[in-house]
Chains A and B, each alone.
Chain A
């Protein structure tokens, strides 16, 4: 094939390839793994899925089975009065519940039977904790009852018995609720094939326990009618309340005297510590003053509605038990939701008010009926929380359950919030205003011009010139510096040109051209010296005229390409002399003198013209 045909073929092929590439100009990303996984309705590409093996029989069901085994032993421990063991077991129960809850969140199963199972278990845990506390209180009450019977204190006895009855009723209620929850748990367990016998045992034990305490009660009633011991009292503590019923926010004043009996004299005893108990739990402490009286104010805050027993105790002396009836009031919950900001955060504010603002009340913020965020009100009954919502429309409701408060639950009106999350430009990139067309065009033009400038520089930079050259040119312009600076640095002595002066001796710095010429003339002869001088001048002329690769040109060609400059004529005559010496072989003395004259005139022209 002829050379032209070959090149034509290659050119055609290259053009074809470039055109084909040009088709993809708009979408340069030809292939990525993500693109390969086009959504197929039949199956998913497993190569891009994250590996996460889960096995219900090994990961989930054992956890649930584990949880089933806690409640039975706890009830048994409570029944045999092994309080420590029961508390310990309840703690372990709480921990296991935590792991199941984490698993439910991780698997996003919050609307499944697993979640209902977990909720029932949580309820069971709560019921069992309350059962434990009630059991402890019942024991304490039984001891008190025995003591009062021994002391022959019928008022206290009756009050203690009354409290005992209230507790027993509570335990009965706990049992009813526990029965419901256990029923749910058992149903879900059988559905999943788990073994729920421990649950059944627990329920049976609970029932037995309830029957037991009732039996004890009946036995005590029998005893009460028979025994009555008269015993002398030595100290007495009185306890009175300003009012025996109240609502949320009321402050009940409790006061009394601590006095001791010496024979038939009664005297107040100062400095005695008095603790007031509400439902067998201490609520307040104070010291009797010099008269032996004490004064305590009990605010009705987190006290459930209904009757409660209050008494005071100092040391081993107990006062009468008074009943405080707390009435429940209605409440209203308000909610307002701000607009979402760029990250999807919305601020929810609101308040819970009964007859007064409800302080420190737990409030649940429920968004989209499944996501719950807990917060609480402050001292003014207001709450404020920030929710981070994903994009889209959401409904937020605030709920107050009133647990532990003598307030009926309430919830706010649902608030709808629409969240849109814009893409964010970091601040540092906002130098160029994004919505300003002119600004964008200007920026694009600047970038392209920058690169055009780089390309132009690349094309027109001088051959073999480094960046340091620019500095050396500046130095060369200062007068008095010898001609060694004018040498383009790529022309080194001893490079790839024949007939070089011996490479060993490097010229001493600051040597003038003529001195150098003289030195080399003496050392190596006329031809070489002439050549050195020509090289110097040629480099300088090429620099001035921007001639690339001037060493590829013969001296005559160089002088012919030197036009429109003041030194051109002298340079041309220098070149003709040089040719005669170097190529013509004329080494006579007259020639030498003429040459030296030409050197000087050329040098003065070149340096005279340089700025």
Chain B
């Protein structure tokens, strides 16, 4: 009898764990709860809680004076007026923003803060590639500036070309923009060098634009020893000064269904307290029964 009890308990525990794991993760692009290949769960779980803070509303940006880095990863919608104003004043105080976007919504942010860098639409393809897909472009540094200071080559995944600013990372000379999406070079597509990471001084601060947020996803975290993706991300995140992660307008906050509930539970203190009290009550009831 006791054996069957233990076996049943084991099975229940295993199923509870599995259910939790299944319900808390999702398959949304770039989501930090997505443990699949296209989520950013590994990046977020590797962040040092003491140094990295999340920004949930434009007012959270106010206290930071200078030398703070704000990471905006894959913005999903056009920014609101307050957000744009907050970004602009954040830059005015001498901080840095790193915007990673290849879908084009970042252009509105760039326009709003007064930068001349433009993320061009188009599939950047190159002969320098890591897989037999011309969209897996390899980019090389062209300036010896942080964060690309000690990097030799970066692997990107469907980047977009950049225009404007001072380029930090560019593709090789044998790259082109695939306008018709057939993954080949056609007669009307010219070869040239395209920037994928550029910086520009705005006010007292600096805006760095990286036209590929896909370097943060789980399957691109460690593409191999040849490419310094890991090093680049470490350089960005492990600065001595505080690092902020934008969670107002980013696909990394993506949740749906059950995971929204769990996310709310995790983030809001009051629901956590209520949950703990309920669990304690259940444990007390069960214990009391046993004693009797």
Q: Which residues of A contact B (CB under 8 A)?
A: 36-37, 40, 42-47, 49-57, 59-61, 107-109, 111-114, 191-193
* Known contacts A42-B29, A193-B173: A51-B103 contact under CB 8 Å: no
Q: Determine if A192 and B130 form an interchain contact, defined as CB atoms under 8 angstroms apart.
A: no
| A-side contacts of B138, CB under 8 Å | 55
Contact status B129-A53, CB under 8 Å: yes
Within 8 A of A (CB), among B87-109: 102-103
A-B pair count, CB < 8 Å, reads: 96
- The answer to whether A51 and B184 touch (CB under 8 A), given A42-B158, A193-B173, is no
A250 to B30, CA, bound (A): 76
State whether B37 touches A54 (Cβ < 8 A).
no
Q: Say whether A46 contacts B219, CB under 8 Å.
A: yes
Docked CA distance A56–B129 (Å): 9
The answer, yes or no, to whether B48 is at the interface (CB within 8 Å) is no
Chain A residues with Cβ under 8 A from B135's Cβ? 44
| Interfacial chain A residues near B103, Cβ < 8 Å | 42
Per a CB cutoff under 8 Å, which of A45, A56, A107 touches B172? Answer: A56
A59 / chain B contacts, CB cutoff of 8 Å = 127
Name A56's contact: one of B30, B36, B128, B132 (CB within 8 Å).
B128
* Closest residue on chain A to residue B171 by CB atoms: A56
B136, CB-defined interface residue at 8 Å: yes
Interface on B for A, CB 8 Å cutoff? 29-30, 36-38, 74, 102-103, 126-133, 135-136, 138, 157-158, 172-174, 176, 184-187, 189, 191, 213-214, 217, 219-220, 223, 226
A42 touching B102 by the CB < 8 A rule?
A: yes
Measured between alpha carbons, how far is A61 from B191 in the docked complex, in Å? Answer: 13
A44 and B185 contacting across the interface, CB-CB below 8 Å? no
A108 to chain B: closest residue by CB: B184
CA distance A112 to B136 in the complex (A): 19
Q: Which residue of chain B is the closest to A109 with respect to CB atoms? A: B185
Cα distance, A192 to B172, chains bound together (Å): 10
Q: How far is the CA of A139 from the CA of B214 in the complex (A)?
A: 66
Q: Which residues of A contact B130 (CB under 8 A)?
A: 46, 51-53
Q: Are A43 and B131 in contact (CB under 8 A)?
A: no
- Are A46 and B131 in contact (CB-based, < 8 A)? yes
Q: Do the beta carbons of B129 and A43 come within 8 Å of each other?
A: no
Q: Can you list 14 A-B contacts with CB-CB less than 8 angstroms, sorted by A residue number?
A: A40-B29, A42-B30, A42-B38, A42-B103, A42-B158, A44-B136, A44-B158, A45-B37, A47-B37, A51-B130, A56-B128, A109-B185, A114-B174, A193-B173
A111/B185 in contact, CB under 8 A: yes
Across-interface contacts of B213 in A (CB, < 8 A): 42
Question: When chains A and B are docked, how far (Å) is the Cα of A52 from the Cα of B223?
Answer: 13
Cross-chain contact B36 with A36 (CB below 8 angstroms)? yes
| Cα(A191)–Cα(B190), bound, Å | 11
Contact partner of B184 (CB less than 8 A), chosen from A111, A113, A193, is: A111
**Cβ of B158 to closest chain A Cβ, rounded Å:** 5
Q: Which residues of A contact B186 (CB under 8 A)?
A: 111
Query: Bound state CA distance, A191 and B223, in angstroms?
Result: 31
A75 to B187, CA, bound (A): 32
A46:B136 contact, CB within 8 angstroms: yes
Given contacts A52-B131, A54-B127, contact A44 B157 (CB under 8 A): yes
Q: Does B128 lie within 8 Å of A50, measured CB to CB?
A: no
- Let me know if B129 and A54 touch, CB within 8 A: yes
Among B30, B128, B138, which residue has the most Cβ atoms of chain A within 10 A?
B128
CB distance from B153 to the nearest CB of A (A): 8
CA A193 to CA B170, docked complex, whole Å: 15
Residues in B neighbouring A107, C-beta threshold 8 A: 127
Residues in B neighbouring A193, C-beta threshold 8 A? 173
Q: Which residue of B lies closest to A116 (CB)?
A: B187
Tell which of B30, B74, B157, B185 touches A46, judged by Cβ atoms closer than 8 Å: B157
* Pairwise interchain contact A52-B129, C-beta atoms closer than 8 A: yes
Max count, chain A CB within 10 A of own CB: residue among B38, B127, B136, B191: B127
Q: A40-B29, A56-B173 provided; 8 other pairs, C-beta below 8 A?
A: A42-B74, A42-B102, A42-B158, A49-B132, A53-B226, A56-B174, A111-B184, A112-B191
Q: Return chain A residues, CB-CB under 8 Å to B223.
A: 46
Choose among B131, B132, B191 the residue that contacts A191 (Cβ–Cβ < 8 A): B191
Could you say which residues of chain B place their CB within 8 Å of the CB of A108? 184-185
> Which of A42, A51, A57, A60 is within 8 Å of B214, CB to CB?
A42
A367 CB to closest chain B CB (Å) equals 16
Residues of B within 8 A of A192 (CB): 173-174, 191
- The residue of chain B having its C-beta at the shortest distance from the C-beta of A52 within the complex is B132
Given known contacts A55-B138, A57-B172, A111-B187, A43 and B128 CB-to-CB distance under 8 angstroms: no
Decide: A44 and B133 in contact? CB cutoff 8 A.
Answer: yes
Residues of B contacting A47 with CB < 8 Å? 37, 219
- Asked if B220 and A60 sit within 8 Å, CB to CB, the answer is no
Q: How far is the CA of A60 from the CA of B74 in the complex (A)?
A: 34
What is the bound-complex CA distance between A107 and B128, given in angstroms?
11
Instruction: Write the nearest CB–CB distance from A187 to chain B, whole angstroms.
Output: 12
